[in-house]
């Protein structure tokens, strides 16, 4: 990966990207894709009653508006900015992969942008004209149409993004036939969509249920009616979400056994695979329980239970997002690029010449007896730092090696033996790309973690060139 490498040596890079991405996914599913149709549905309920029961109609309208208000505030701030944040953080943490993805998916992203602009404009229209467009049936009808369009475009936005996510897990035939369409029609696309759509709808319904419980506290008769129709929504979509999750769950291995046989064997995946069934069952079960409760006993439905089940489904989503993270390991782009940013085809060259020689943003080019430690640190930055910290809080090399070799001084032989074969020992790690000299330097650095650990700076602290022998241009000769 020929980029200056941003590195957070305490919390780790993956933690940063995970926080931003999961937050965005949850907001997008629950508050945009899932909640907009619910709000529109509530508005339509009021619209239908406008002529006959204006008072009740106004109640529906008010409820719909208050739920929309909540969604509007969150989606146009945290939602929108975490969306940008995914780009920013991915570009910092794995620039090689996002840059390659952009080249494959430029068309999709460009269309996505168009859809996104439409979605934002509709959102603004829908929210800001609510009070203006309610004096007559005709105006209200127009307003309801904005809501329907908005719901549709929110879903399209998600449908496009899912293809890119699916591609990252499984490149389909793209690797042999590099075109955009192959990326798009990869085998995991439909199962993912079949899972995410009802999941989003269920989450949207749950949020609406939760907010209705809060907003209608002082109007018990209306509360009962409102809860009933929202819980019906949840009860319709919930089983589809469960079904989608199962479908997706069964499709993953079928599609991945072809590509990543060993992924199935890694401890991490196995534990994920066993947990997910339990979590899906509990989450969906709770949701259905709550929806039934709200339907049959609207008066006694507890708000906190709604809150808990929303958190649980959000957790479920986070869990599924994690799947993408490690199921594609050791690759960031299946079979094409490893998570350390090197392409599979780079390996023979790098193993022969070493990674330092071809890295333009590291200060150490040649390993000598004096600079082994500095060189080893650079090798760590280039080959391990996308997934490990040196001695930080998350997935640190120091703790991993302590686990394996204990606390007595580590020896070079076993360290080298392990790293050389780490891909076969732990399939989710890419093979070590460097040559023997670099391996030696890396072990010197790793041993230093045992007796004199120092935080490893990333590119954001400077590249450290000035300290190298000065005035020798590194420019291409």
Partner 1 sequence: MFPEGTFLKRLIFMFIQILLQAPTIVQKDIPLPLPVPEWFLIVVLVSMFLVHMLFINFMVGGSIITLAYQLLGLRKPDYDKLAYEVAQTITVNKSMAVVMGIAPLLAINTLYTTYFYTANALTGLMWIMIIPLVTIAFLLLYAHKFLWHRLEKNKLLHISILATSVAIFLFVPLIFLTNVNLMMFPDKWSVVEGFLSALTLPNVFPRYLHFLNACLAASGLLLVWYFGRSSFDFEGKFPALSRYRIRLNLYTVTFYGSVVQFLVGPIVLMTLPTQGLGWNVLGVILTGASIAVFALFWLWKELNAQEAQFGKHFPKIAVTMGIVVLFMGSGRQLYRSNVIDPHRKLVAQKTADYEKMVQEARTEAARPPAAGPATAINMPGETVFNGNCVACHQVDEKLVGPAMKEAAQIYKGNINGLIGWIRKPGKKREGPAMPAQTHLTDEQVKQVAEWILSLNT
Both structure tokens of 278: 């339990």
Please identify which residue in 330, 334, 392, 458 interacts with ligand HEC, judged by CB under 6 A.
Answer: 330
Query: Which range, of 57-65, 245-253, 355-363, 440-448, touches partner 1 by CB under 8 A?
Result: 355-363
Q: Does 459 bind partner 1 (CB under 8 A)?
A: yes
CB within 8 A of 393, min separation 6: which ones? 10, 11, 12
Which of ligand HEC, partner 1, none sits in contact with 387, Cβ below 5 to 8 A by type? Answer: ligand HEC
Please identify which residue in 54, 348, 368, 393 interacts with partner 1, judged by CB under 8 A.
Answer: 348
Which of partner 1, ligand HEC, none sits in contact with 329, Cβ below 5 to 8 A by type? Answer: ligand HEC
Query: Alpha-carbon Rg of the chain, whole angstroms?
Result: 26
User: Distance between the two ends of the chain, CA-based, in angstroms?
Assistant: 21
CB-based contact 209:230 (threshold 8 Å) = yes
Which of ligand HEC, partner 1, none sits in contact with 308, Cβ below 5 to 8 A by type? Answer: none
Helix (H), strand (E) at residue 338: strand 337-338
Which of partner 1, ligand HEC, none sits in contact with 70, Cβ below 5 to 8 A by type? Answer: none
CB-based contact 301:227 (threshold 8 Å) = yes
Q: Does 103 bind partner 1 (CB under 8 A)?
A: yes
Angle at 355 between CA 350 and CA 359, to 5 degrees: 125
Which of partner 1, ligand HEC, none sits in contact with 414, Cβ below 5 to 8 A by type? Answer: partner 1
Binding mask 385-424 for ligand HEC (x = CB under 6 A): -xxx------x-x--xx-xx--------------x--x--
Nearest distance in Å: CB 476, partner 1:
4
Please identify which residue in 44, 99, 303, 305 interacts with partner 1, judged by CB under 8 A.
Answer: 99
Please identify which residue in 246, 281, 289, 404 interacts with partner 1, judged by CB under 8 A.
Answer: 404
Binders of partner 1 among 171-230, rule CB under 8 A?
A: 178, 180
CA atoms within 13 A on the CB side of 262: 11
Q: For residues 400 and 201, what is the distance between their CA atoms, to the nearest angstrom? A: 41
Q: Does 158 bind ligand HEC (CB under 6 A)?
A: no
Q: Residues 94, 95, 100, 106: is their CA dihedral positive or negative?
A: positive
Closest CA to 337 of 1, 87, 7, 18: 1
With b for 16 or more beta-carbon neighbours within 10 A and e for fewer, the 88-118 pattern comes to ebbebbbbbbbebbeebbeebbeebeebbeb
Closer residue to partner 1, CB minimum distance, 135 or 403: 403
Q: Does 461 bind partner 1 (CB under 8 A)?
A: yes
Binding-residue total with partner 1 (CB under 8 A): 87
Q: For residues 65 and 25, what is the distance between their CA atoms, to the nearest angstrom? A: 23
Residues that bind ligand HEC (CB under 6 A): 268, 329-330, 339-340, 383-384, 386-388, 395, 397, 400-401, 403-404, 419, 422, 425-426, 428-430, 432
């Amino acid at each position: 990966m020929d980029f200056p490498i941003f590195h957070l040596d305490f919390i780790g890079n993956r933690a940063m990207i995970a926080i931003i991405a999961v937050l965005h996914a949850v907001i997008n599913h629950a508050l945009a894709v899932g909640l907009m149709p619910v709000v529109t549905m509530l508005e339509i309920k009021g619209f239908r009653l406008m002529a006959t029961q204006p008072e009740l109609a106004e109640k529906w309208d008010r409820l719909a508006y208050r739920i929309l208000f909540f969604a509007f505030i969150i989606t146009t701030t945290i939602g929108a900015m975490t969306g940008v944040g995914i780009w920013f953080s991915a570009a910092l943490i794995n620039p090689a992969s996002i840059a390659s993805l952009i080249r494959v998916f430029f068309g999709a992203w460009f269309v996505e942008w168009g859809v996104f602009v439409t979605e934002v404009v509709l959102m603004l229209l829908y929210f800001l004209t609510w009070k203006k467009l309610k004096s007559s049936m005709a105006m209200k009808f127009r307003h309801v149409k904005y809501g329907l369009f908005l719901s549709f475009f929110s879903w399209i936005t998600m449908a496009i993004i899912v293809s890119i996510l699916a591609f990252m897990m499984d490149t389909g035939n793209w690797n042999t036939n590099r075109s955009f369409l192959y990326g798009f029609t990869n085998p995991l696309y439909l199962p993912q969509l079949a899972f995410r759509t009802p999941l989003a709808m269920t989450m949207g319904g749950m949020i609406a249920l939760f907010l209705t419980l809060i907003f209608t506290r002082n109007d018990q008769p209306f509360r009962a009616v409102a809860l009933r129709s929202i819980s019906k929504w949840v009860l319709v979509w919930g089983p589809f979400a469960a079904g989608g999750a199962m479908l997706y769950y069964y499709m993953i291995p079928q599609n991945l056994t072809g590509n990543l046989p060993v992924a199935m064997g890694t401890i991490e995946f196995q534990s994920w695979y066993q947990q997910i069934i339990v979590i899906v069952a509990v989450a969906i079960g709770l949701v259905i329980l709550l929806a039934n409760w709200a339907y049959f006993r609207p008066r006694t439905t507890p708000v906190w239970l709604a809150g808990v089940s929303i958190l649980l489904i959000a957790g479920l989503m986070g869990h599924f997002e994690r799947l993408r993270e490690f199921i594609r390991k050791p690759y960031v782009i299946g079979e094409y690029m490893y998570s350390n940013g090197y392409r599979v085809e780079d390996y023979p060259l790098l193993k022969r010449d070493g990674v330092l020689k071809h890295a333009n943003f590291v200060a150490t080019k040649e390993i000598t007896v004096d600079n082994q430690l500095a060189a080893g640190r650079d090798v760590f930055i280039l080959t391990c730092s996308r997934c490990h910290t040196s001695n930080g809080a998350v997935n640190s090399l120091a703790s991993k090696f302590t686990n394996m070799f204990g606390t007595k001084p580590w020896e070079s032989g076993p360290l080298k033996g392990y790293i050389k074969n780490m891909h076969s020992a732990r399939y989710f790690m890419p093979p070590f790309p460097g040559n023997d000299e670099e391996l030696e330097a890396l072990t010197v650095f790793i041993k230093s973690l045992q007796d004199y650990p120092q935080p490893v700076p990333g590119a954001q602290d400077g590249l450290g060139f000035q300290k190298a022998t000065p005035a020798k241009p590194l420019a291409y000769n």
